[in-house]
Homo-oligomer: A and B are copies of this chain.
Amino acid sequence: MILTLKTGVTEKEINEIKNKVKELGYSPEISKGLDKTLVLVKGERAIISRDIFESFEIVESITPISEPYKLVSRKWKKKSIINVGGVKIGSGNIVFMAGPCSVESLENTMEIAETVKAAGATILRGGAFKPRTSPYSFQGLGEEGLKYLRKAADKTGLKVITEAMNIEQLKLVVQYADIVQLGARNMQNFELLKACGYVDKPILLKRGFSNTIKEFLMSAEYIASKGNTDIILCERGIRTFSDYVRFTLDISALPVLKKLTHLPIVVDPSHPAGNRDYVEPLALAAAAAGADGLIIEVHPNPQKASSDGAQTVYPDQFKEIVRKANAIRELLK
C-alpha cells in the first residue's frame, strides 16, 4: 500500500504517519519526489488497514499494491475443480445447468428434468424461493419446490442447484440441493455469506449487478474465510446505461477472473438477455471466452412459466446451445 501525502506536509506529520504504520505492525519507507512525499507501507495484508490511513488529513490518496483477498487468489492455488457428486466444474469442459426459472409442479419439473438431461445438462436448476422486485408477484413454492427438484433430479440422475435467500432457507436448501445458489441481490449479504462458509455444499455465488470484480472476490473470500472453499463464481450481467437488454453481460469478467482467482466461473446468459433470442449468442460468446459452465432457463412452454418467460428458451434452442458450445470448447482446447 502506498500513501501519497498532500503537498506541504511537515516532517512532524510524516513522523506521525510512520509511527502509525509501525504501531500496526507494518514497515514504512519514505520516498520524496519533486512534488509529493510517498509512504510505502510494507506488509502482506497492509491493505486491510486502508481505512485508518484514509482518515488522516495529510493523506491525499492511497494505492493498494496487494489485493485484499487471499484464499480465493491465484497466488494461493492455481486452479480449483469443484466435484459435485461426479460432475466436475472447472475441469476444462463446459457444465450445463438448466431448468425453469421457478419450480411449478412435480409433473412439470420431471418433464423439464428429462428434457434438459437429454439435451446435455448435468445439473437441474429451478427456484423454490424467488427474489421478486414486486411484493405482488409469485414468490415460489418453498420447501415443496425443493422436494420436486430433488425427486426430478434423483429420477434422471441430475444434480440440483437452487437459491437460498436467507439463513432459514439455507438450512432447508442444503437438505435438498447439491449446490446452493446465492443470488446477485445477496452478493453483499455478509451474514448469509458467512453462513455459507459453514455449509458442506458447494456455493454458486452470482455477481451483484453493480459490483466490481474486487467486491465479487471479497464476497467469495467471506465464504472461504469460514472454511468452505468450494465456490463457483457466476457472471450474470451488470447494470449500465445500455437499455436494449436487461443487463450488460460483462464478457471481459471471464479472462479477468481467470487471471485473479483459482475458482471456476460460470455464465448466466438468460438474465442479461432478457429475451430468448439473445440467449444463444451470449452463451456461445461465454463458451469462446472460457466459461466453465452455463446456467440457462429452459421451459417447454415459456408462455406458461410462472416467471421470466421472456428470456426462457425452448428445449430445442437449449439443445442447439449445448451442441455448439461444446464444439467451440473442443476446438479451443
Contact = CB atoms under 8 A, between A and B. Distances in A.
Most chain B CB atoms below 10 A, which of A4, A256, A327 = A256
A189 B190 contact: no
A9 interface: no
Given A65-B36, A282-B289, A332-B324, A248 B245 contact: no
A188 B209 CA distance: 12
Contacts of A239: 210, 241
Most buried by B among A29, A282, A284, A290: A284
Interface of A: 2, 4, 7, 29, 31, 33-36, 38, 40, 42-45, 48, 51-52, 54-57, 63, 65-66, 68, 75, 131-137, 165-169, 185-186, 188-194, 208-210, 212-215, 218, 221-222, 225-226, 238-245, 248-256, 259, 272-273, 277-278, 281-282, 284-290, 302-303, 305, 307-310, 312, 324, 327-328, 331-332
A135 B197 CA distance: 11
Given A36-B66, A189-B186, A252 B225 contact: no
Contact of A218 (B55, B134, B168): B134
B48 A288 contact: no
Nearest to A312: B55
19 contacts: A2-B2, A31-B31, A35-B65, A38-B40, A45-B136, A55-B302, A55-B309, A55-B312, A133-B218, A166-B189, A185-B190, A213-B242, A240-B241, A242-B252, A252-B273, A255-B282, A259-B277, A284-B289, A327-B331
Given A34-B42, A309-B55, A285 B278 contact: no
A55 B303 contact: yes
Nearest to A286: B285
A213 B251 contact: no
Contact of A308 (B31, B51, B66, B186): B51
A309 B305 CA distance: 43
B35 A31 contact: no
B309 A51 contact: yes
Contacts of A287: 288
Nearest to A301: B55
A231 to B, nearest CB: 13
A44 B7 CA distance: 13
Contacts of A75: 7
Contacts of A185: 188-190
Q: Which 8 A-B pairs have the closest CB atoms?
A: A55-B309, A210-B210, A54-B310, A288-B288, A285-B285, A284-B288, A185-B188, A285-B289
Contacts of A284: 288-289, 332
A140 to B, nearest CB: 11
A11 to B, nearest CB: 18
Nearest to A165: B191
A281 B332 CA distance: 11
Contacts of A290: 281
A66 B134 CA distance: 14
Contact of A63 (B45, B63, B285): B63
Nearest to A192: B166
A221 B133 CA distance: 10
